[in-house]
Amino acid sequence: MGIVSGTELLTVNGRELADFLDWEFLTADDELVIEARLPGGDEVVYEVERPEGEALGAELEPPTIRRCANKCEFCFIEGLPQGLRKPLYVRDDDYRLSFAYGNFATLSNVKERDIARILEYRLSPLYVSVHATPWEARKVLLNNPRVPNIIDQLTRLAAGGIQFHCQMVVVPGLNDADVLEQSLADLFALGDAVLSVALVPVGVTQFSHLYNGRPMDAVNAGRILASVERWEDRALAERGDRWVYGSDELYLLSDHPLPAADHYGDFSQIENGVGAVASLRERVREGLDDLPRLDGRRIGVVTGVSMAPLMPELLDAIAARTGARFTLIPMENSLFGPTTTTAGLLVGADIRRALADRHDLDLALIPAETINDGGLFLDDERFVALRETLPMPVFPSYDFIDVLALEGEPHVSGRHAA
Ligand code: SF4
């Protein structure tokens, strides 16, 4: 239609376009009148009949992200060291990204107009950072005296058919114990509108300068899991699903055995670290038969401190199936400090330290989550550049099977992953 890069899309069927959501929803009609301003300034009107199911083919520029108005003491972004690349410091709190990508939003910054849009476009399910339902406790947690009452917001949206996946980051002394009980009771009372609740322990780095509280310890983590068990019993009896889930970290911290994959249903909060270990175990179990013989191959596996104790059972099973010999290399996090033990937050410098002198390895696997879509580690190291400096082929891997299943094939052996 002559829409070129830089064209400003103004209206669809007479309604003004504010962002990608308007475009997505308003262009769902079959007959469209689109007003646009071309880069030269000419305004054009297009009348379009959209063939059913076919995309319009316009690519929008990335949306301006709504910034967060809170100042949580436990905010991970406030716990980043100085000097990283700029986008890492963006604190987004955007209901549109909550719907589109599953990012958690607090809904503290939504206005009447936003509520109307959520209802009109049926933006459901939304991923909501509740943290606490008692209003005063929530104001303290979000460090923002102007946060709206979350139960009022959720009730209103639920009445319009919107559903939620909720999370609570549990901070000892602020929203454990009675506040946790009250919050779970309030969310449970919302019925089917609340699809799931994840409880995640507060995680702070050595740079979390706002955080004054205590770190989560084993006793507290165990108490939170006891609450999870009580509420899941009730949910199973009354709703037929577990509804509330503890994140894997709560189990690891309190030394409780991690549940099996069937505990987590459709893994709706796996991005939140809920069921990630169970899912990994399942994928390894299911993928074993796809693995080739790798007799005598010496394979290094780099991981974080918290995952290290869980690895031997998986690697032993793969070794028994393939004949490969594994070396586990747990690394402390040099950027965030020793309290940050997650494998996915290891940085390029850690991978380099782990592997630079390992001439005894034929191959190394690193956590794929350490690298973003642009091929960068959090410390700005570029994966493709780093791997060239290491003495063995290195592959980012999610579950070992993804890489090792291809290793026996002669045409890909020794390849470098992108
Ligand atoms: S809501 Fe809190 S944790 Fe989330 S970005 Fe804002 S300040 Fe950080």
Query: For residue 234, how many other CB atoms are within 10 A of its CB?
Result: 15
**Maximum C-alpha span of the chain:** 69
CA-68 nearest atom, ligand 1: 6
Only one residue has tokens 């910034």, namely 67
Kindly give the distance from the C-alpha atom of residue 219 to the centroid of ligand 1, in angstroms, as a whole number: 26
Query: For residue 137, how many other CB atoms are within 10 A of its CB?
Result: 19
Sheet containing strand 394-397, strands side by side: 325-331, 298-304, 363-367, 394-397
Cα angle for residues 378, 96, 153 (degrees, 5° grid): 115
Atom 4 in ligand 1: which residue has the minimum CA distance?
A: 75
Kindly give the distance from the C-alpha atom of residue 72 to the centroid of ligand 1, in angstroms, as a whole number: 5
Pocket test for ligand 1, best of 65, 67, 68 (most atoms within 8 A of CB): 68
Whether residue 329 contacts residue 303, with contact meaning beta carbons closer than 8 Å, is answered with yes
Considering only CA atoms, which of 107, 21, 102, 96 is closest in space to residue 68?
107
Atom 3 in ligand 1: which residue has the minimum CA distance?
A: 75
Question: What is d(CA 318, CA 314) in angstroms, rounded to the nearest whole number?
Answer: 6
Kindly give the distance from the C-alpha atom of residue 41 to the centroid of ligand 1, in angstroms, as a whole number: 40
Considering only CA atoms, which of 403, 400, 399, 401 is closest in space to residue 418?
403
| Token code pair at residue 203 | 């995680």
Kindly give the distance from the C-alpha atom of residue 67 to the centroid of ligand 1, in angstroms, as a whole number: 9
Pocket test for ligand 1, best of 65, 70, 109 (most atoms within 8 A of CB): 70
Query: For residue 1, how many other CB atoms are within 10 A of its CB?
Result: 13
Question: What is d(CA 167, CA 274) in angstroms, rounded to the nearest whole number?
Answer: 11
Amino acid letter, residue 29: D
Q: Taking CB atoms and a 6 Å cutoff, what residues make up the pocket around ligand 1?
A: 68, 70-72, 75, 77, 91, 93, 106, 129, 142
Question: What is d(CA 190, CA 208) in angstroms, rounded to the nearest whole number?
Answer: 34
**Secondary structure E strands in 88-211:** 126-129, 164-170, 194-201
Atom 8 in ligand 1: which residue has the minimum CA distance?
A: 75
Give the alpha-carbon dihedral of 401, 402, 406, 407, to 10 degrees.
Answer: -60
Question: What is d(CA 259, CA 248) in angstroms, rounded to the nearest whole number?
Answer: 9
Per-residue pLDDT for the chain (418 aa), expressed as one digit of tens each?
778 999 999 999 999 999 999 999 999 888 999 999 999 999 999 999 887 778 888 899 988 999 999 999 889 898 898 889 888 999 999 999 999 999 999 999 999 999 999 999 999 999 999 999 999 999 999 999 999 999 999 999 999 999 999 999 999 999 999 999 999 999 999 999 999 999 999 988 888 887 888 889 999 999 999 999 999 999 999 999 999 999 999 999 999 999 999 999 999 999 999 999 999 999 999 999 999 999 999 999 999 999 999 999 999 999 999 999 999 999 999 999 888 899 999 999 999 999 999 999 999 999 999 999 999 999 999 999 999 999 999 999 999 999 999 986 654 444 444 3
Which letter, b or e, does each residue of 382-402 get, where b requires 16 or more Cβ atoms within 10 Å of its Cβ?
ebeebbeebebbbbbbebbbb
Question: What is d(CA 222, CA 237) in angstroms, rounded to the nearest whole number?
Answer: 23
Alpha helices in 135-269 (DSSP H): 135-142, 150-159, 177-189, 218-238, 248-254
Kindly give the distance from the C-alpha atom of residue 204 to the centroid of ligand 1, in angstroms, as a whole number: 13
Only one residue has tokens 């901070």, namely 171
Pocket test for ligand 1, best of 93, 98, 147, 167 (most atoms within 8 A of CB): 93
Kindly give the distance from the C-alpha atom of residue 105 to the centroid of ligand 1, in angstroms, as a whole number: 9
| Token code pair at residue 390 | 């290491």
Asked if omega into 125 is within 30° of 0 (cis), the reply is yes
Q: Taking the CA atoms of the chain, what radius of gyration do you get in angstroms?
A: 24
